[in-house]
Chain A
Amino acid sequence: MFQVLPQPIEDILRVLEYWDHILAGFLTTMELYGGAIVMGFFLGLLLALLRQYGGFIISRIATGYIEFIRGTPLLAQLFFIYFLPYSMNAILEAQGLFPIPIGKWSFQTDIIILDRIITYTIFDHRMLVGLLTLALNSAAYQAEYIRGAIKSVGTGQLLAAQSLGMSRLASIRHVVLPQALRRVIPAWSNEAAYLPKYTVVVFFIGVVDLFGKAHFIVANIFRTLTTYCIIALIFLALITIISKVLDFVHKRTSIPGL
C-alpha cells in the first residue's frame, strides 16, 4: 500500500512526523514576531512623534537613530547586542566588578500534546537579545511609516485644534494620531509582513525558531527541499493571514466618506 505512494508525499509525511518540533519553532517565531512588532510599534510611534514635533535637537536625535538603524545590517545589530554583554563582562571583571549574569535566566515549560512532550523555551538570554534587536530595528522602520502618516494628516488639523485652545499634546493625541494611525495601516502592513521573515536571523545566535527547527529536522532525516518548502508554506500562510486581518482592520476603521 505505502509502496505506491509517490516519493514527495512520503517525504512530506516523514517531515511532518516532526510536527512537535515545527510547532515549538512556530511558537518561538510568533513570540519574537509578536513581541518585536508590538514593542517596535510603541517605540516607533515615540520616534515618529519626536522626529516630527521634537524641535531642533530632539528631532535630529530621533532622525539619527532611524537612519543608523536603517543604514546598518540587521545581522550586525543582532551580533552587536548579543556580544556587547560579553565584552562588558571582560571590562567589569577586570575592574573587579560584578559581571552581567548572561545565561542565568531561562524559563522553559513542557507542553504535552498528543503524547508528545514539547520543551518550549519561553525566555532566555538569546530570546531577549533577539526580541530586543528586532524591536529596536522594527521601530526605526515603523517610525518612518507613522511619520509619513502624520505628515499626510496635514498641519491644518493641528492648527484647528490649537485654535480651540487645545494644547499641542492634546491636539496631537485627539486629532492628529487618530487620523494618522488609520492612515498608516496600508503602509504599515509592509512591516507587519516583512518582520516574520526577518525573525529568522536569530538562528545565528542560537535561538531555535521555525528556521532553527528546520535545520534540526534536516540534520536528522536529510529531507532538505521538503523541509524548507514546508517551512516556507507556513510563513506564506502566516503572512497571508496577517495581510487579510490588516485589510479587515483598515476597512473597519476607515472614516466614512473618505
Chain B
Amino acid sequence: MLRIVDGWKSYGDLQVLKGVSFEVGEQEVKVIFGPSGSGKSTLLRCINMLDPLDKGEVHLREQNLMAPGINLNAIRARIGMVFQHFNLFAHLKAIDNVSIGLRQVKKLPKEEARAKALEMLNRVKMAEWVDHYPAQLSGGQQQRVGIARALSMEPDVILFDEPTSALDPELIGEVLQVMLDIAKSGTTMIVVTHEMGFARAVASEMLFLDNGVIVERGTPQHFFVSPKSERVKQFLKQLDILYGSHKELLKRSNEEESK
C-alpha cells in the first residue's frame, strides 16, 4: 500500500538517508528502530512529504507522491502523523484540535465535525477532557489527543514519530494501550519507537535503521531471538539494560563497585 524505493536525503553535507526501501501492506504495523541520528524521523517526514526526498520514490496506493504537480496538501490529509512532542495546537481546546482538520480540510459542517471529533476523543479515552487546553493536560493525555487528531482524518496510514519518548514512564502505558487498540482495529501504522513490548505485540515487521540504511529487518521474534548483525545485538543489549529487567543494570553496577 505504501512503498518507498531507494530513498536518499541529505541536509547540506550530511547524508541522512542512503537508499532506504521498504513496503507496508494494508493493515500492517511496521516498527522502525535504531540509534539516534540514524534517520528515523527524517524518514517519516519524507514519507508524508513535509520534507520530500532528494532522490527516490514514495508510492501511496500506486500513486507516485514524488510526481511533479501533485497536490501535497491532499496527500498529507491521507497520511496521519503523531509527533514526539505532541505538537497540539496550543490555542485550541482538545475537541478543536481534533476537529480543525475536519473543518478546514474536509470542510465538514461545524456540528458534524464536532460529533466526529468527540467520537475520536472517546476512542482514545479522552472524552472527559474535550474542553481542556493542551497546557492543562498531562503529556500522556496530550499525546492521546494527538492520536485522535491523526485518526480523525481517517488516513490511509498513520506515522508515529517516537510517540512515547517525551513522556514520563508512568504515562507511557496509557498511550501504548491506545496505540495497541488502534493497531488491532486494522489501522496501517509505521511506528518509530524503542518500546519493544509494543513491537512484540503488534509489529508485523521491524526495521533496524542505522546511519541512513536499513541494517536488518525481520519479525519481532527474529530480533529478540536471533539478530544477525553485531550492531543490532549491541543496540538491543543497551535497550535491555535501560528498559528491560534491571538485572543487567544491577550486575553492571556491582561490577563497577567490585573494581
**Complex Cα spacing A178 to B100, Å:** 13
Taken together as a complex, chains A and B put the C-alpha atoms of A182 and B134 apart, in Å, by: 16
The answer for the CA separation of A182 and B89 in the assembled complex, in Å, is 13
Chain A residues with CB under 8 A of B136: 256-257
Which of the 9-residue segments A111-119, A134-142, A166-174 touches chain B? A166-174
Report B-chain residues with C-beta under 8 Å of the C-beta of A179. Answer: 89-91
26 A-B contact pairs sorted by A residue (CB < 8 Å): A157-B90, A159-B83, A159-B87, A160-B81, A160-B83, A160-B149, A162-B73, A163-B79, A163-B80, A164-B101, A164-B104, A164-B153, A165-B74, A165-B101, A166-B73, A166-B101, A166-B104, A175-B89, A175-B100, A179-B91, A255-B91, A256-B133, A257-B133, A257-B135, A257-B136, A258-B90
* Mask: chain B, 139-155; 1 = CB below 8 Å from A; 0 = not: 00000000001100100
Q: How far is the CA of A256 from the CA of B91 in the complex (A)?
A: 8
B3 at the interface (CB under 8 A from A): no
What residues on A are CB-neighbors of B83 within 8 Å?
Answer: 156, 159-160
Cβ contact within 8 Å between A164 and B133 = no
The answer for the CA separation of A179 and B90 in the assembled complex, in Å, is: 8
Q: What's the Cα separation between A182 and B80 when bound, in Å?
A: 28
Residues of B within 8 Å of A162, CB to CB, are 50, 73, 76
CB distance B76 to A163 under 8 Å?
yes
B48 located at the interface, meaning its Cβ lies under 8 Å from any Cβ of chain A in the complex: yes
Provide the residues of chain A in CB contact with B75, threshold 8 Å.
Answer: 165
Does A161 interact with chain B (Cβ within 8 Å)?
A: yes
Q: Given A164-B101, A166-B104, answer yes or no on A255-B89 (Cβ-Cβ < 8 Å).
A: no
Chain A residues in 8 Å Cβ range of B135: 255-258
B contact residues around A157 at 8 Å (CB): 87, 89-90
Please tell me if the beta carbons of B104 and A170 are within 8 angstroms of each other in the complex. Answer: yes
CB distance from A170 to the nearest CB of B (A): 6
Bound-complex Cα distance A158 to B34 (A): 27
Q: Which residues of B contact A164 (CB under 8 A)?
A: 76-77, 100-101, 104-105, 149, 153
Provide the residues of chain A in CB contact with B76, threshold 8 Å.
162-165
Given known A163-B50, A164-B153, A166-B73, contact A255–B105 (CB-CB < 8 A): no
Interface membership of B88, Cβ < 8 A? yes
How close is A171's CB to chain B, nearest CB, in angstroms? 9
Q: Please indicate the chain B residues that have their CB under 8 angstroms from the CB of A182 in the complex.
A: 91
Task: For A258, give the chain B residue with the smallest CB separation.
Answer: B135
Bound complex: CA of A167 vs CA of B81, how far in Å?
16
A165 and B73 contacting across the interface, CB-CB below 8 Å: yes
Chain B contact patch, size range: 20 to 34
Chain A residues contacting B85 (CB-CB under 8 Å) are 156
Complex Cα spacing A163 to B133, Å: 20
Distance of A222 Cα from B41 Cα, bound (Å): 74
Please tell me which one of the listed residues A165, A170, A178 contacts residue B153 in the complex, with CB atoms under 8 A apart: A165
Tell me the complex Cα distance, A156–B41, Å: 13
Provide the bound-state CA to CA distance between A156 and B100, in Å.
Answer: 16
A255 pairs with B90, CB closer than 8 A = yes
Chain A CB within 10 A, most for which of B50, B89, B100: B89
Identify which of residues 64-106 in chain B touch chain A, using a CB-to-CB cut-off of 8 Å. Answer: 73-81, 83, 85, 87-91, 100-101, 104-105
CB closest chain-B residue, reference A177? B91
Q: Enumerate the 5 nearest inter-chain pairs by beta-carbon distance, A residue then B residue, closest first.
A: A165-B77, A257-B135, A164-B101, A257-B136, A160-B87
7 further contact pairs, Cβ within 8 A, besides A162-B50, A255-B133:
A156-B83, A156-B85, A161-B100, A162-B76, A163-B80, A164-B104, A179-B89
Most chain A CB within a 10 A radius of its CB, from B73, B77, B91: B91
Once the chains are docked, how many angstroms separate the CA of A179 from the CA of B79?
25
CA distance A165 to B85 in the complex (A): 19
List which B96-139 residues lie within 8 A (CB) of chain A. Answer: 100-101, 104-105, 132-137
